[in-house]
Structure formats: structure tokens, C-alpha cells
Structure 1
Amino acid sequence: MTLIALLLAAQAATAPAPAVPARITRLLERTPIIDGHNDLAWEIRERHEAKVEDVDLTKNTAALPYPLQTDIPRLRQGGVGGQFWSVWIPASVLGPRAVEMTLEQIDVVRRVVAANPGTLALVTSAADVRRAQKTGKIASLIGIEGGHQIDGRLSVLRQMKELGVGYMTLTHGKSLDWADSSTDAPRANGLSAFGRDVVAEMNRIGMIIDVSHVADTTMAAVLDLSKAPVIASHSSARAIADVPRNIPDDLLRRIGTAGGVVMVNLYPAFLSAEWRAWDQQRTAFGKAQGLVTDVYGPKAPAPLIAWDAAHPMPRVTAATVADHVDHIARIAGKGAVGIGGDYDGIGGTAPEDMGGVDGYPRLFAELARRGWNDADLANLSQGNVLRVMERVEAVAAGQRNMRPVDAIEPE
């Protein structure tokens, strides 16, 4: 890359984002976004030693020594009125320690909310979300990101529900004996007998089933069994970016037909095949040099900065995200799409004009430019996921007299 090209790239990186139409600002004030997935809790644990109260979310956290993509001013600027906070733990952590670590992460989320009582409100139902939003607060919900976190015990699942957990992703990056992951060898042939019990018990207690991360066979088995609609809390369209974590058209249709919602992920590797290939080449180069490769931009190691200059990053923008939203809407219906940004879980990367949680209006402006009307945009922002929540709650209410499932995963 020439010096002139580098200067132009630097100017582009610092140029102000295009203005958001007043229409989008008004729409997101009326119907703010309910985002399906944010990993702030883990970043606070890992980057800030779980010192929740020392991380001032009332200020721009992008300026911290370990920058974050989330803070309250940017949530407000992004039109976010509801957030599922992920209580992710590594898929390699198993057994009782997985349960303990999940409790620690739930504690982080609860402390985040408690430290910001004027802005955040912990909620567990669709009605709670609406009440919080009427008072001007950001509704805070909790999602478990992996079935390994219940240690094969439905009693643990039930107690997580009591602690406020609204959904559970059935797997993360590794397959379980009872459910298969999209990024690991199968072990359960979709769902085992215990996996089917998990689905039934989640329906009974009113916990949303999340099919992000799971194998296609597991997703199909869940759709065969579940009496309530499901979500994919942070997944995109495989037809646009052919990666295992994305969802193929046949399963998109089935999720939509069953009343579920696919909440589009903003990780560039799941949005663009070109970006994914570039990142794989970058990672291979960095590892060969013994470098940390998950840091991008000016804070990356010097050899990676030089590599980046010689190998320009493929562009991923709000328009790329809109391609996934449009595709899912065409295949599954506009009632089957939502937003699941995965901020603070995407390695410091994001679409170039959506670098933090304040970027969502850019996506909505792009969709409006493509002809989306206000009603469809309002459903994208929150109407679709609220419908799922209400239906999950109704299914559970219809089973309130059923006994708990006593199954424990076979040792």
C-alpha cells in the first residue's frame, strides 16, 4: 500500500459516520432494539478482573486501556432498549466448575445492573421489558451460552431459571453427549434422549431455546420437538457467508414457520467469506511469528500492522449486515429476523461503521433505504423477539401443572 493510500485509509477511518435519518431516530425511540447477545460480562471478568464497580459504564469504554464495545452512552446512541447479557464460559470448562463459573457470571451481570440503577433494570418477561422501557430504562436479560453450563442436570437448569436466565444456547463450540455443536464432531446424533428431556423441560419452565452454535442436525431435532418457538441469539445466513455457525435456508424456513427468530450476528467472519479468508491468512502469519493475533488496528503487534498494510482488510459494513437481514427476511419472513450483535464477543472487530453498540442506527438506515417500512423495522428491533418471549411464556403457562423432568445425563 502506498503512503497516499495509507493516508486515505486513515482519513476514512476517522471520518464521521454518515448522519442517521430523523425517521430512524424517532423509530428507535418508540421501539428500541432488544439485542439478543452481548458478552460484556466476560470482558469485565477477563480484561478488568471482574471488578464490575471499577468499570464506569456511564462513560465511553472505548477509551479504556482494554477497550470495550459497550457502555451506557453508546447503548443509548444505538437505540438499544433491551439487552440479553451472555453469561458465557469456555466450552472446555466442565463439571461442577462449569456451574460455579456460570453463577459467577450471573453475579457479574447482576452487579452491572445494580451499579447502574437509573439506567438498567433486570427483567425476566416480555411484560417486564415493556415496563422497563416505559420508565426509560434498558431492560436487562440473561442468557446462558452453552448446555455444558448445567453439568447434565435439569435441577441446575431450573435453578438458573430462578436466577433470571431467559435463554440457554444448547451448545457452544464443543459437542456434548446430548447435543452436537456446529464446530465440533458429532456425539449425540443431533439430540440424545437426555437432550430431548432438556428441550421438554425448557418448554415447561419457560426458558427460550437458543439454537445458535448447534449443528444442523441438532437444530432440526429441536424444531421437531419444541412446543415453543426458538431463537438463534446471534447467527447469520449461510447462503451469504458459508460458515458452519450460520444457518442454511431450509432451517431458516423452519424457524420462521415455527414462529422463531434469527438474530443477526455482527462478527465479520460470519458476515463475509472474503473477510473470513483474510483473517485466516492473517492468523496463520501471526502464529508463525509467535504473535497474538486477536488484536486489530493500531494496538496490534507491529508485524501484524505491517501485514495489514500490505493486505488490506476486506470491507464489511452495515450494508453487509443488511444483506443477511434481507436474506433471512426473504427466506423465513420479516417476522423471523432480529438483532444479536455479539458485541464484546467478537474479538475487537465489527463492521467498519458499526464499531460498537452505537452503530445499530446505521443498519436501520440502510434497511430503510432498501424499502423497509416502519412496521417491519419495529418488528426487527423488538417486536419479533417479544412475540417469541410471549409465546414461550404461554407454552409454559399451559404446562404449569406438569411435574418437573427428573432426568440426569447418564455418567
Structure 2
Amino acid sequence: MADLQDELTAPAEAGDLEAARSAPADVARPAPAGHVPADAGNAPPTPATPTPAAPTPASHTAPHDLLARHPVADGYCGLPQVLRTLPWYDLELGESAVEADLPRLRAGGTGAQLWAPHVAPDAPVTTTLEQIDLITNVVARHPEDLRLARSASDTADARAHGRIAVLIGPAPATAAADSLGTLRSLHALGLRALTLSGTSWASDDGLNRFGEEVVREMNRLGMLIDLTGASAATATRVLAVSKAPVTLTRSGARALNHHPGNAPDDLLTALGESRGLCLVPCSADRTGPALRDVADHVDHVRGLAGPESVGLSGTYDTGDAHPEDLPDVAGYPALIAELQGRGWTDADLALLTWGNAERVLRSTEFVSRAAQHRRGPSTATPEP
């Protein structure tokens, strides 16, 4: 187990974050040349060197420079569904029909994205398979820019080689068609996150026994559990059953905006206590029409869940309207500048953009490896 625990933090990532945490806010100035102590001879005292002023937003690392070191791990992008509807497109040179083409991903400092498959209610498994196939082929056509990631190590490796990591998911729970065998097959094809809502086993009444087995199987497989839009009863039970940290891939704070997909304060607090992750969306409906509204939600989530349980989710190419100054993925530097103006340190911003998502991925993998030593694939079926 020791060697598994060692994998929870990649050395390069930990080094960057540790350096950011340990960097002093102020550096003491040396005494001016010719300074004489006040008690030397009869010379009048030399005026004391002024105490350095508290850091101002201008003393922060420039947003583009910070994102070059700690790129955004974006929690939700609907690009696959948009590409599916286009007769042709050019992601490499720029594509006006989408909000997350390669030039804008680079300009916004994006280092990883979750690409969410769109699932048709009348054919959930087929459409999920088709979208996984599309994602795999799109990534393969851009090897100098994109890399398909199936693990935290893949994500870190993509970043180290200047690629943008693409993780498949989250898909709605209906994609698994109430079958753990189907869930395992989708995982084998690359699906790495599932949203637990909208099914008979994850409903307003909470998880039933089969739903609990889905959570355990996702832990064993190493899949991210997404509670966006889940009922309070489901969220409470998932937090109790899951051994891995859970996520909200696109949730703001319900206390600031009563959108049904946003999270109440008690869930945000519980998420922080369990070291989960809430990824705040850049969505006018969920967070508000202005960039400062998104920053308000990020501040609120950090205040309740803590700086290690908040991240960012663009929700681009989903059909959502976006706040002013955040029309596409190129807007992340403006959001970082806004947060710097509110007193966020470089260390906390490094956690917000990359560190927290990487930790959750690694923790989920660690739980998976431990679970696979304890149990094999589940054969549970839904209750009548």
C-alpha cells in the first residue's frame, strides 16, 4: 500500500504547489547603503526603512504566466455533441461554430477538459458509444494538441508534453442502462465519469441497494462520481457509501442563484469535509450574467468547502449562455485576474485551476486499486 500512497501526488505537481505555498508574501529589504545604527557616535539616527506595503493585485503572477504553470482542468465541455451536428469543422485553425477550438483552448490556458457525451433518451447506450467513438477519433486527429487521458498519470503526462488532456465524461447515468456490465464496458472504452441522477436507482428518494452497488463498482473501476443535479437524499447517501471523493462537475452555489443544478450550502460543506470537488460553471443561468458573478460563486464555494475543494467548469458548447467577458474558453485569464483582485494567492489559484482536479483523479485511482484487491466485478442487478 505504501507504493500506492506515493502515487497520490506526482512529484512535479507537488513541487510546483509546494513552491507556491512556501513563497513568502514579502521579501525583507536589505539596509540601504551607508546606513549607520542609531547608537553609533553622535550621528543622528537614520530614518527606519519603511515597512513594505501589503501585496497588491499587481504583485501577483500575471494570469497568463500562472496558467502556463497551472493550467485549467475544465470540468465540463459539450464539444462532442456540437461536432456531431457539423458537416465539417477545423479545430486546429479555429472554428466559429464552437466555443472550445484549439486556438482558444491555448489562449485560455486550458490543460485538461472533460468532454461530456450527449445521450439520447430513446437510445442511451448507442448514442454514448457513438460519442465515445467520435471523441476518440477527434483526439487522434490532433496528436500535437490533444491526448486522450484514462488516468491521472495520463493527464499529468499530457501536460508535461504540452498537450491538452481529454477525459471522456461525465455521461448521464442512463448511459449505463441499469447494467453494471454495460458500465464496465463503457469504462473499458474510456468513460471516466458518470452523473448519478435521473434513474430509478438514483432518484429523489435517494439510492436504493442497486444504486449503492453502482457507487461501489464505480469506486472499484476508478470512475468519477458526479452529483450535479442529484437529489439531496442521493447526494447524502453517495457521500456515505463512496470511498473516493465525489465531484460536482458544473454546480454553482444555490445560496447565490437558485438554479436546480446548483448545490446547497450543506452539500458544499459536506463536500469539503470529504475532500470532494465542486467545479463552478461559467454559465449565465447557473452563476449569473457577469464575470464577477462567477467569481462570487467561486468565493462562496471556497468559503464553505475550502480552497482544496473548488475548481472551474466552462460548460462551453452546451447551449448555455455565458457571462460577459467569459464567452468562450479563452476567457479564463480574465477570471483569474478578477480573483487576484479579490486577494486570492497564487497557491490557492494553482489549486483552483489544476491541483484540486489532479488530486481527486489520483485519489480516485488509489481507491480503485485498493478496491480491486478486495473484490471482483459486481454481478448485482436492479431490484424489481
- TM-score bracket, normalised by the shorter chain, equals 0.7 to 0.9
Q: Does 1:146 align with 2:172?
A: yes
Q: Does 1:338 align with 2:311?
A: yes
Distance across 1 between alignment mates of 2:323 and 2:337: 15
**TM-score normalised to structure 1 length:** 0.77
Measured against aligned partners, the alpha-carbon deviations of 1:341-390 in whole angstroms (never above 9, x if no partner) come to 1101133x211101011111111110001000111001000100111111
2:339 partner letter: L
Q: How many residues align?
A: 325
Structure 2 stretches of 5 or more lacking a match?
1-59
Measured against aligned partners, the alpha-carbon deviations of 1:8-66 in whole angstroms (never above 9, x if no partner) come to xxxxxxxxxxxxx86111110011111011000011113x1xx5xx311012322xxxx
What corresponds to 1:290 in structure 2? none
Contact 2:94/2:103, CA 8 A, preserved across alignment: yes
Distance across 1 between alignment mates of 2:268 and 2:170: 22
Contact 2:279/2:312, CA 8 A, preserved across alignment: yes
In the alignment, which of 379, 385, 405 is matched to residue 378 of structure 2? 405
Contact 1:88/1:144, CA 8 A, preserved across alignment: no
Q: Does 1:86 align with 2:116?
A: yes
What corresponds to 1:107 in structure 2? 133
Contact 1:145/1:170, CA 8 A, preserved across alignment: no
Contact 2:170/2:226, CA 8 A, preserved across alignment: no
SS in 1 for 2:118: coil
SS in 1 for 2:112: strand
Distance across 2 between alignment mates of 1:136 and 1:243: 37
Distance across 1 between alignment mates of 2:187 and 2:259: 32
Contact 1:211/1:231, CA 8 A, preserved across alignment: yes
Bigger Cα Rg: 2
SS in 1 for 2:372: coil
In the alignment, which of 261, 265, 268 is matched to residue 252 of structure 1? 268
In the alignment, which of 242, 253, 258 is matched to residue 258 of structure 2? 242
What is the correspondence of 1:143-222 to structure 2 with a 5 Å cutoff?
143-171=169-197, 175-180=198-203, 186=204, 189-222=205-238
Aligned-pair CA distance for 1:409:
2.0
Q: Does 1:35 align with 2:74?
A: yes
Contact 2:74/2:110, CA 8 A, preserved across alignment: yes
In the alignment, which of 130, 138, 158 is matched to residue 156 of structure 2? 130
Distance across 1 between alignment mates of 2:357 and 2:214: 22
Contact 2:114/2:170, CA 8 A, preserved across alignment: no
Percent identity of the aligned residues? 40
Measured against aligned partners, the alpha-carbon deviations of 1:241-296 in whole angstroms (never above 9, x if no partner) come to 01221000100011111011000112211113xxxxxxxxxxxxxxxxxxxxxxxx
Distance across 2 between alignment mates of 1:101 and 1:121: 22
Distance across 2 between alignment mates of 1:41 and 1:213: 21
Distance across 1 between alignment mates of 2:281 and 2:64: 22
What corresponds to 1:393 in structure 2? 365
In the alignment, which of 294, 310, 325 is matched to residue 353 of structure 1? 325
1:121 partner letter: R
Contact 2:118/2:127, CA 8 A, preserved across alignment: no
Q: Does 1:232 align with 2:255?
A: no
Distance across 2 between alignment mates of 1:73 and 1:201: 38
What corresponds to 1:371 in structure 2? 343
What corresponds to 1:7 in structure 2? none
In the alignment, which of 57, 62, 85 is matched to residue 91 of structure 2? 57
Q: Does 1:71 align with 2:43?
A: no
Aligned-pair CA distance for 1:214:
1.1
What corresponds to 2:3 in structure 1? none
SS in 2 for 1:271: coil
Structure 1 stretches of 5 or more lacking a match?
1-20, 181-185, 273-315
What corresponds to 2:142 in structure 1? 116
What RMSD in Å do the two structures reach over aligned CA positions? 1.5
Q: Does 1:44 align with 2:121?
A: no
What corresponds to 1:295 in structure 2? none
What corresponds to 1:299 in structure 2? none
Distance across 2 between alignment mates of 1:197 and 1:346: 33
SS in 2 for 1:243: coil
Measured against aligned partners, the alpha-carbon deviations of 1:60-94 in whole angstroms (never above 9, x if no partner) come to 322xxxx211100000001001011111214x33x
Aligned-pair CA distance for 1:98:
1.1
Where in structure 1 do 4 or more consecutive aligned residues deviate above 6 Å?
none
Measured against aligned partners, the alpha-carbon deviations of 1:284-343 in whole angstroms (never above 9, x if no partner) come to xxxxxxxxxxxxxxxxxxxxxxxxxxxxxxxx2211100000000001101110011110
Contact 1:36/1:341, CA 8 A, preserved across alignment: yes
Contact 1:170/1:211, CA 8 A, preserved across alignment: yes
Contact 2:70/2:350, CA 8 A, preserved across alignment: yes
Contact 2:61/2:346, CA 8 A, preserved across alignment: no
1:107 partner letter: D
